[in-house]
Amino acid sequence: MTLQEKIGQLNQYSVGQEMTGPNQDNEYAKKRYQQLINGDVGSVLNLLGAENTRLLQEQVINNTRLKIPLIFAYDVIHGYKTIFPIPLGESCSWDLDIMEQTAKVAAKEASASGIQWTFAPMVDISRDARWGRVMEGSGEDPFLGSLIAKARIKGFQGNDLSLNNTIAATAKHFAAYGFSESGRDYNTVDISRNTLHNIVLPPFKTAVDAGVRSFMNGFNELDGIPVTASTYLQRDILKGEWGFDGFVISDWGSIREMIPHGYALDGSHAAELSVKAGSDMDMESHLYVNKIKELVESKKIDLKLID
């Protein structure tokens, strides 16, 4: 693979139905379509329907040198066509079998629509009802949260991800997003190591043990460092101590958002920080595809990290 082809596999874009043909009606869509057929995109999210995903997949396969298939992703949170109670509501049942079955049904329906990967389950432990995303998690308790994480991952992924009715799951948000100060989204997190290791991290460790295929980092900072750039979380704990062999995707634009948060100087610096920290795929920041090549060529990033 060329360096640019490798970088393309680290890039995820959000696309819509306008991407499934060459007759886009605006310059933005035309640019994205060109990047898709150039092999500069490894995964897309938000394109729905078997007809649409099949058509775009064929166009990518027919036009790219290496013919690497796209991975189609979507937020399948509490059902796809059949809608189930929100995860917080389900957690109140304490019925792990039901939670596994609802995830299984969601996987069957989503996979039939061309989806292969969901950004669920959210396993953040949260104890502040002001945080708007409490509905997407399993509540306050790390023990129950761990059991629910395992059940939902089993439901989504089954025992064999090569089967056409299963989808890859994502444990998110790594880590401590649910402890944002004052319940304000994207905010600072300031907690003790005891809280981190005994309250926040157990559901994520269970997710690794359950075979989850991907992790998502978050928008929050921890100990003054945005988790998207946290080597401690992503390399030392997740990929080191826990031996996680899947991959980590950024949250939507979280790499670029380190600039206005005052941690990264510019887009190039943000990409450098994220790659070194262990964030493997860039969701909607457009920085990996635009900045990594020059970072490798200038020796700021080791090519081994891209490999």
Contact yes or no for 160/166 (Cβ under 8 A) = yes
Which residues are within 8 A (CB) of 237 and not within 5 positions of it... i.e. 6 or more apart?
Answer: 201
Reported for 57-64, long-range contacts at CB under 8 A and 24+ positions apart, including other chains, are 59/20, 59/21, 60/36, 63/37, 63/38, 64/37, 64/38, 64/39
Contact yes or no for 113/73 (Cβ under 8 A) = no
3-class SS of residue 12: strand
Which residues are within 8 A (CB) of 2 and not within 5 positions of it... i.e. 6 or more apart?
Answer: none
Query: Is residue 251 annotated as a catalytic residue, yes or no?
Result: yes
| Nearest C-alpha neighbor of 227 from the set 249, 195, 246 | 249
3-class SS of residue 45: strand
251, 266, 280, 307: the catalytic one is: 251
Contact yes or no for 87/149 (Cβ under 8 A) = no
Distance CA 303, CA 293 (A): 9
Distance CA 257, CA 238 (A): 23
- List, in sequence order, every residue forming a beta bridge with 188; answer none if it has no partner: 221
Distance CA 275, CA 259 (A): 15
Distance CA 219, CA 212 (A): 21
**Six-digit token string for 260:** 């206005």
Distance CA 176, CA 157 (A): 24
Active site members = 251
